[in-house]
Structure 1
Amino acid sequence: MEVDLLWLTLIVTLVGYLYYQLTKNNEYFLEKPIPSLPVRPFFGSSAALLLKQATFSDFIKNAYEKFPGVKVFGMFETTTPFFVIRDPELIKRIAVKDFDHFVDHRPTFGNHEDSDNPYVLFGRSLFAMNGQRWRDMRATLSPAFTGSKMRQMFGLIGECGEDMVRFFENQMKGSGSVEVEVKDMLGRFGVNVIATCAFGLKVDSFLDRDNEFYRHGKEMMQFGKLSVLLKIIALRMLPKFCAWLGVDVVSREQAVYFSNIIKETVRSRESQGIVRHDMVDLLLQAKKGTLKHHQEKEMQEGFATVEESDVGKVEMTKPMSEAEMIAQCFIFFLAGFDTVSTSAMLAIYELVRNPEIQEKLYEEVKKTHSELGGKPLTYDAVQKMKYMDMVVSESLRLWSPAPAIDRLCVRDYVLDDGEGLKFTIDKGTCVWFPAHGLHHDPRYYPNPEKFEPERFNDENKKKVHLATYMPFGIGPRNCIGSRFALMEVKTVIYHLLLKFSFERSENTQIPLKLRKGFTALGTEKGMYVRLRARKNV
């Protein structure tokens, strides 16, 4: 009986301690002069996300709309206090002017900069780095993502587009059309692009549908698996312990596979003097500390393109380690396989829903093709397609790639709006910029649920506030690969639209249903359309 009582006491003590840890901060926002969302133990304010009752986009939009007219409100993401900044001027101040207080992302997937494990990928990537190490790596990588560097590797992306089109032309011989699952199609295109640009490989994931590179990549992207979710929870709750153990989101098998590819590519490039003007060449220069910023001639680039800050323009001579180089290639794969392909998919979805816009864009594509006079598509030709940029910019507004953008407060920050709102954002708490909420706010975008590319014509885009349009983030910690992503999205749409029209099929889901939960933007059941061959192309 005494033993049973002892065990009962231990269990009650442990449960009580766990409950205390989960609820000790629940009254945090009562001391702040701002409203806040209700809090539940363990779930914080995000039960709808964790229980998969809402999509991430809808959760952000619904939270944003709960406090109209309020500049800042509070919430908990599990046990971490988040300040949600609704006011564009405050967002700009925090993200740009006072960036030194908010340098880092929240370490959701761990940070293993000091780990001896060579197969830690995500934790050693630019996205996961903090503080001065992030600054150094950003400055090291930044010259690789300028317009001139994109121009050099553009031909490799164009080849992938042409290969994809030939595949589908062969598929529809005799019928004139074929139904495709768009995310699968664009994911395969994205894999081909990343293989050739970031890994130095030539793969064709359309003809060889189960090639080794694609198979390992798809396995690596299974973030919904229970084992991966448990890793993410452990990395979030016990980051130092996981770093000591060398736990990473990416499995050891995939980490070894992709690491070996890069190592072999580097060896062959260095021993044979091979130059392809791809990302591997640029990273090799960064590895040697010879990749430098050069004065760029001014050129018209996409509206969504983010500009590099002074942080990224610092001259760096510190070489990049081989492990760091491999980790950056992994991040390129992650972005190309999922984020870029999803953004292109949603743009195509809107073209299917709006055939008059599709036809207008086709006319511009056809005009560009004619002006090229039979020559392959070029980077400069893509930049001159104004309506293409309007369509893609509007799609990125309507379907925010990152519904919310996070920053970790690295030292106490006094927020003062100059109009009576003044309080401290404490070190260790986080801020969220609710991009999806701002993108759908009728104050900034009238009739926000309508797909309207004219919002981004030459006249209207001048009226868009910097902090109400954030598809690639804002401030010095914005997405370094915005030029690459936009180049890829526009290129794949150009090649497909030149040869095919996008039409509804019996399996086209309108309205499109997105996955619920705290996951990347994606659909529940795929997005099907019919590609129909154009005549006289």
Structure 2
Amino acid sequence: METSIYIMSVLILSILVIYKYLTRNNGYWKSQGISEGEGALLGFGHALDQVLSIKNTAMLIESFHKAHPHDSMIGIYIGPTPVLILRDPELIKFVLTTGFSNFSENLTLNEELDPLMSHDPFFQNGKKWKNSRGIFLTAFSSKKLRDMIPAINATCQKMVKYLKGQSTKSIEIEVKDLFSKYTLGVAASVIFSIEDDTFDDKIERHSLRKMMDAIFSTKRGLSFKKNLMLLFPASSRFFTNRYLPEWVNTFFMQMVDDIKSMRTDEKMVRTDILEHISDYLRNKSLSEDELAGHAFGFLLEMYETSSLTLSHMCYFVAKYPRIQEKMRNEVDDVIGKHGTISYEAINDMTYVEQVLRETLRFFPPIGSMMRICCKPVNLKGPDGLSCNLKLGDQLRISVSGLHMDPLHWQNPEAFIPERFGNDNEDQRKKFVYLPFGEGPRSCPGIRMTGLQIKTVMAAVLRDFFIEKSDRMEEPIKVDSKHFVTAIDGGVWVQLKSRY
């Protein structure tokens, strides 16, 4: 009897402690006069749809951005954690740039469980973040980007040869898969000096591609696990909760070690990104994990977001023949002027750039941004709302919400590349177009991304007409299981030879 009473008492006490923990922040925003999103659930806050992969993070944040069109800031809860969503461009400017020192931090990962991913600048803070960012910025200088053009063009030529080998006249193809082969080929070449023909279907599934597929898998079980980690970061302390499969860490670190050993044994001299990382950190006691981790960061930067953006760009180019024809005319004129697709030629393709920027407005790779408050600070919105933030408070910005907000854009649902022409540049509000972020923590690979996208798009337009496919499902939907922005089911087009 006494044992039963004891067990019952412990159970009740445990439930009360858990309940107290899960409700400890209830009313956090309301107490400061900030509107809170509706529908919070015990333990999950507003994030149950995210945990179940009904919405990804960007879709979740965008839903509250849209639901409060007249508020400069909105309070929600992701799990038990209070999160402040910013809608006002001036507040966003303060957080990303002028007041950056108050909001310089982001989520981090467990270095022991995720030795590769934890070295990505996105998941680093303080001196480690500054070091990583410095490596990226110097690797993507104008001179180094110009030196990468031959490798990028060589991969483009392999892709065009691959496409023409499928059919002399027309081919129906899912272009996300196609461009994944392209971006992986470019990355392998410029990071590791590996001439791996990712377009050779006779070769059994490429090891690097197999690894990248595992990283970006959208299987529900894996999506659930990743969402749980992001919602409850502390869970990795109690469970073996890795962001990446363990075999990915082992495989990639072994590959980097093999490459370095081969170069040392054979006294090989390379000018690729792997050597750049080694040179940059030569006097900083670089560990093997750090070298592999930084190289892995470059691979991530160059692979998924570029291939997705290329597929989204193809969707719009196929849908709007007038825009495609204008792009093709520019490509033909520029190549006629320069004689080849050179670094200077790519920079002359201003309309292709406008189409790219409008594509990124519709489908920003990362649809929401996060910042963590690292100093107590007060935020004041133009609508009179005021909020005191303390150390550790989280902020989110809905990039996808800003990009489609009629308060900031004329006819936002229309695909109009000309809105990014020089005549319109000064008319746009600042800090409402953020496909790669803004300020010190903006994406360091933005120039490389633009270069490899415009180069291959020019190569495709030079040799093919891009037309709609009957296999393309309309209306399109964003994949809720993917943590970056991707069209569900991929993008199918018809490629028809020009000659």
Q: How many angstroms apart in 1 are the aligned matches of 2:342 and 2:374? A: 43
CA contact (8 A) 2:65 2:87 kept: yes
Distance 1:463 1:372, change over 3 A: same
Tell me the residue number matched to 1:97.
98
Q: Give, in angstroms, the shift of residue 435 of structure 1.
A: 1.1
Higher mean C-alpha deviation, range 346-355 or range 201-210: 201-210
Return the letter of the residue paired with 1:178: I
**Unaligned stretches of 5+ in structure 2?**
none
Tell me the residue number matched to 2:373.
409
Distance 1:178 1:479, change over 3 A: same
Distance 1:385 1:167, change over 3 A: same
Q: 1:334 and 2:300 equivalent?
A: yes
Return the letter of the residue paired with 1:200: S
Q: Give, in angstroms, the shift of residue 398 of structure 1.
A: 1.2
Q: How many angstroms apart in 1 are the aligned matches of 2:403 and 2:353? A: 17
Q: How many angstroms apart in 2 are the aligned matches of 1:86 and 1:232? A: 24
Aligned with 1:28: secondary structure? coil
Tell me the residue number matched to 2:174.
181
Q: 1:362 and 2:328 equivalent?
A: yes
Tell me the residue number matched to 2:31.
31
Q: Give, in angstroms, the shift of residue 288 of structure 1.
A: 1.6
CA contact (8 A) 1:55 1:514 kept: no
Distance 1:420 1:232, change over 3 A: closer
Corresponding residue to 1:287 among 281, 289, 294: 281
Return the letter of the residue paired with 1:19: Y
Q: How many angstroms apart in 1 are the aligned matches of 2:233 and 2:380? A: 34
Corresponding residue to 1:198 among 191, 194, 198: 191
Higher mean C-alpha deviation, range 323-332 or range 342-351: 323-332
Distance 1:53 1:127, change over 3 A: closer
Corresponding residue to 1:251 among 232, 245, 248: 245
Tell me the residue number matched to 2:208.
213
Distance 1:55 1:509, change over 3 A: farther
Tell me the residue number matched to 1:466.
430
Q: Give, in angstroms, the shift of residue 184 of structure 1.
A: 0.8
Q: Give, in angstroms, the shift of residue 444 of structure 1.
A: 1.8
Q: Give, in angstroms, the shift of residue 454 of structure 1.
A: 0.2
CA contact (8 A) 1:199 1:261 kept: no
1:209-288 matches, within 5 Å, as 210-222=205-217, 224=219, 226=221, 229-230=224-225, 233-234=228-229, 237=232, 239=234, 242=236, 248-288=242-282
Q: 1:351 and 2:351 equivalent?
A: no
Tell me the residue number matched to 1:312.
none
CA contact (8 A) 2:119 2:297 kept: no
Aligned with 2:426: secondary structure? helix
Q: Give, in angstroms, the shift of residue 12 of structure 1.
A: 3.7
Q: How many angstroms apart in 1 are the aligned matches of 2:416 and 2:150? A: 31
Distance 1:246 1:193, change over 3 A: farther
Corresponding residue to 1:126 among 118, 121, 143: 121
Tell me the residue number matched to 2:21.
21
Higher mean C-alpha deviation, range 396-405 or range 416-425: 416-425
Tell me the residue number matched to 2:60.
59
Return the letter of the residue paired with 1:35: S
Aligned with 1:365: secondary structure? helix
- The sequence identity of aligned pairs, in percent, is 26
Q: How many angstroms apart in 2 are the aligned matches of 1:144 and 1:128? A: 19
CA contact (8 A) 1:56 1:517 kept: no
Q: Give, in angstroms, the shift of residue 281 of structure 1.
A: 2.8
Q: Give, in angstroms, the shift of residue 35 of structure 1.
A: 1.0
Q: How many angstroms apart in 2 are the aligned matches of 1:516 and 1:346? A: 16
Calculate the TM-score normalised by the size of structure 2.
Answer: 0.92
Distance 1:231 1:62, change over 3 A: closer
Aligned with 1:260: secondary structure? helix
Aligned with 2:247: secondary structure? helix
Q: How many angstroms apart in 1 are the aligned matches of 2:351 and 2:233? A: 48
Return the letter of the residue paired with 1:17: V
Q: How many angstroms apart in 1 are the aligned matches of 2:123 and 2:218? A: 17
Calculate the TM-score normalised by the size of structure 1.
Answer: 0.86
CA contact (8 A) 1:286 1:320 kept: no
CA contact (8 A) 1:122 1:248 kept: no
Return the letter of the residue paired with 2:369: I
Q: Give, in angstroms, the shift of residue 406 of structure 1.
A: 0.5
Deviations 1:77-132 (A, max 9, x none): 2222111111111111111111111111133xx242xx4x7x71112322211123
Alignment root-mean-square deviation, CA: 2.4
Aligned with 2:407: secondary structure? coil
Tell me the residue number matched to 1:79.
80
Count of aligned positions: 496
Return the letter of the residue paired with 1:255: N
Q: Give, in angstroms, the shift of residue 462 of structure 1.
A: 2.5
Distance 1:222 1:52, change over 3 A: closer
Q: How many angstroms apart in 1 are the aligned matches of 2:411 and 2:465? A: 27
Q: Give, in angstroms, the shift of residue 346 of structure 1.
A: 0.6
Q: Give, in angstroms, the shift of residue 231 of structure 1.
A: 6.0
Q: How many angstroms apart in 2 are the aligned matches of 1:199 and 1:9? A: 61
Deviations 1:359-389 (A, max 9, x none): 110111112222233x4x2122111100010
Q: How many angstroms apart in 2 are the aligned matches of 1:172 and 1:135? A: 48
Higher mean C-alpha deviation, range 451-460 or range 523-532: 523-532
Q: 1:172 and 2:173 equivalent?
A: no
Return the letter of the residue paired with 2:180: G
CA contact (8 A) 2:72 2:382 kept: no
Q: How many angstroms apart in 2 are the aligned matches of 1:199 and 1:250? A: 21
Q: How many angstroms apart in 2 are the aligned matches of 1:417 and 1:526? A: 40
Higher mean C-alpha deviation, range 335-344 or range 15-24: 15-24
Return the letter of the residue paired with 1:124: H
Q: 1:430 and 2:425 equivalent?
A: no
Q: How many angstroms apart in 2 are the aligned matches of 1:449 and 1:209? A: 43
CA contact (8 A) 2:105 2:373 kept: yes
Q: How many angstroms apart in 1 are the aligned matches of 2:243 and 2:396? A: 23
Higher mean C-alpha deviation, range 222-231 or range 246-255: 222-231
Q: 1:162 and 2:157 equivalent?
A: yes
Return the letter of the residue paired with 1:18: I
Q: Give, in angstroms, the shift of residue 464 of structure 1.
A: 2.6
